[in-house]
Chains A and B, each alone.
Chain A
Amino acid sequence: NAGVTQTPKFQVLKTGQSMTLQCAQDMNHNSMYWYRQDPGMGLRLIYYSASEGTTDKGEVPNGYNVSRLNKREFSLRLESAAPSQTSVYFCASSEDGGVNPQHFGDGTRLSIL
């Protein structure tokens, strides 16, 4: 049982390049999330999808877009990467929002030069 799978695990981009981070879960969860984590800071929510077909902005959405492709997959796109987007990105899923804990993928380490 893979849980939440993220690809790629590492990526280096140049400023202005674009890329898509992929996330898939096999737990039949309704809700999915994208976070970033920077040194000394907690996880910050970028975007989330409460259920298939819906997406909403989180705390730090600027510079990102998302697509909930189907129930399993939730992708995060950087259209024009900036050095400030250097971070570790985590995807998570939960059975539903609210009272349920989230399960995390093992992260994407992204560096923007």
Chain B
Amino acid sequence: RKEVEQDPGPFNVPEGATVAFNCTYSNSASQSFFWYRQDCRKEPKLLMSVYSSGNEDGRFTAQLNRASQYISLLIRDSKLSDSATYLCVVNEGTSWGKLQFGAGTQVVVTP
């Protein structure tokens, strides 16, 4: 079983609509969670960290469910520029803890 699993998609979303997707992780000791976005095999860029209480950054909302071991990302009022692959990132849970990257969920926003 992969340590971080994501639905690869694609999620086809009309412009202006809302899209949400999850990521599951296997290590219950994981402490840090992030969402990155990656465009067309360019470098991954940090979108937002995910905090225990959930957090919002503009049109993006991230949630953490420790009991079920998943994190989610919701995008409201989708823009064409939101088309990208979204990577779920979880740390190992050890004191130093390497980051584990999911393979990504592709989002395609259509006019």
Residues in A neighbouring B89, C-beta threshold 8 A: 101
Residues in B neighbouring A72, C-beta threshold 8 A: none
Known: A97-B98, A104-B43. 14 other contacts (CB 8 A): A42-B87, A42-B101, A43-B101, A48-B98, A50-B96, A97-B96, A98-B32, A98-B94, A98-B95, A98-B96, A101-B46, A103-B46, A104-B45, A106-B43
User: Residue B102 contacts which of A42, A58, A99, A105 (CB distance < 8 angstroms)?
Assistant: A42
Q: If the complex has contacts A43-B101, A97-B98, are A37 and B41 also in contact, measured as CB distance less than 8 A?
A: yes
User: Residue A42 contacts which of B32, B45, B96, B103 (CB distance < 8 angstroms)?
Assistant: B103
The number of inter-chain residue pairs (CB within 8 angstroms) is 52
Confirm or deny: B42 has a beta carbon within 8 angstroms of a beta carbon on chain A: yes
Listed in ascending order, the chain A residues whose CB lies under 8 Å from chain B are: 35, 37, 40-43, 45, 48, 50, 58, 88, 90, 97-107
A interface, over-half SS: loop
With an 8 Å Cβ cutoff, the count of chain B residues facing the other chain is: 25
Listed in ascending order, the chain B residues whose CB lies under 8 Å from chain A are: 4, 8, 31-32, 34, 41-46, 49, 87, 89, 91, 94-99, 101-104
Closest to B93 in A: A98
